[in-house]
Structure 1
Amino acid sequence: MEKYYLLKTEPTEYSYDDLEREGKTVWNGVKNPLAQKFIKSMKVGDKVFIYHTGNEKAIVGLGEVVSQPYLDENNLYVVDVKPIKRLKPLTLKEIKSIPEFKDFYLVKMPRLSVMEVPENLVKLILEKTQ
C-alpha cells in the first residue's frame, strides 16, 4: 500500500508552482538524519504533500514519488517527485487546532523537512484540502 509523506519547501526557493511548471524534480538538499531515513523508505507511487514554509506555512499540493531513492553527488538520498494536483491550503495554524495532529512530526518537530504522514492523518488532510 502506498504511503504518504510531507515534504517542506521554502516557496521563494522552490514552490509547488515550480514543480507544476517543471513536471518533475529531484527532491534534494535534505541533510537531517531522520528526514534522510524517511526519504530512504520511499517507494515509487508513494504520495507526498507539498508544504510551503516561510510566510505561508501550509500544505498546498499533492505529488507522487516517481523514482526509488538514490544517492546524489553529495552522498545524500534523494527521490524524483512529480506534481498531481494543487490543494486547498491547510495552514499550520489549522493543523495545530485539530487534536489528532498533536503528535504529528510537523507539530512536534517543526524543523524536520521530510516526514511520514500516518494513515489517520492522511484522511484528515485529504478531507481538509479538497
Structure 2
Amino acid sequence: MAYWLIKSEPNSWSWDDQVRVGTEPWTGVRNHQAAKYMNAMTRGDRIFFYHSVQQKSIVGVVEVARTAYPDPTDDSHRFVCVDVKAVSAVQQPVSLSAIKSNPKLEHMPLLRQSRLSVCPVTEEEWDEILHMAHGLAPQTSSGRPA
C-alpha cells in the first residue's frame, strides 16, 4: 500500500462533501506531475484529505476505490482521475503550520512543492501525521466515517 495527499478547497469540495457522497471521482487535476502520481495509485492506497486555502490542514483519510481512468472533465483527454472513498476523519486536524514545525516532516512534497495538488507521502510521514492527529475518528453506527 502506498500513501498520498490530495488537496481540495473546502468551498469547492470539502471533507463533509466527501463523507456525504462516500465515493467520488477526483477530477480536475491539470498538473502533469500530479497526474503521474494519480496514475501510480492502486486500489486501497490511503490518502490524506487536505483542506487548502483558509484551513490549510489535513482533516480526513480517503482510499483509492478505482485506479486512474480518463478524466471526464478534461476536454484535451490528457489527464486522469481516480475514485476516492471516504474512510475516516482524523481525531484532530493537522495544520500546515504544525507540519512545517515538525522536523520529521521537513522533506514532504507538501512543503517542497506547495502548489502540487496530489503528492506522495512516505510511510514514516503517514505514521507521524496520524500520531499528530491522535489517530482516526471513530466510525458512526452506520459504519460511515465520522
Name the structure 1 match of 2:142: none
Name the structure 2 match of 1:103: 107
**How far is 1:54 from its partner?**
1.2
C-alpha distance in structure 2 between counterparts of 1:22 and 1:59, whole Å: 19
Question: Which of 28-37 and 68-77 deviates more?
Answer: 68-77
Name the structure 1 match of 2:143: none
Amino acid at match of 2:81: V
Structure 1 consecutive aligned stretches of length 4 or more whose deviation exceeds 6 Å: none
Name the structure 2 match of 1:83: 86
Which runs of 5 or more structure 1 residues have no equivalent in the other structure?
none
Amino acid at match of 2:44: G
The 5-angstrom pairing of residues 1-130 of structure 1 reads 2-73=1-72, 74=74, 75=77, 76-87=79-90, 88-129=92-133, 130=135
Which runs of 5 or more structure 2 residues have no equivalent in the other structure?
136-146
* Contact 2:28 2:71 (8 Å CA) reproduced: no
TM-score of the two chains, using structure 1 as the length reference:
0.96
- Kindly tell me the number of residue pairs found equivalent between the two proteins: 129
C-alpha distance in structure 2 between counterparts of 1:68 and 1:59, whole Å: 22
Higher-Rg member (1/2): 2
TM-score of the two chains, using structure 2 as the length reference:
0.86
Secondary structure of the 2:6 match is strand
Aligned sequence identity (%): 38
- After superposition, what is the alpha-carbon deviation per residue over 1:90-128, rounded to whole angstroms, capped at 9, x for unaligned? 000000000121111111111000001011101101111
Secondary structure of the 2:132 match is helix
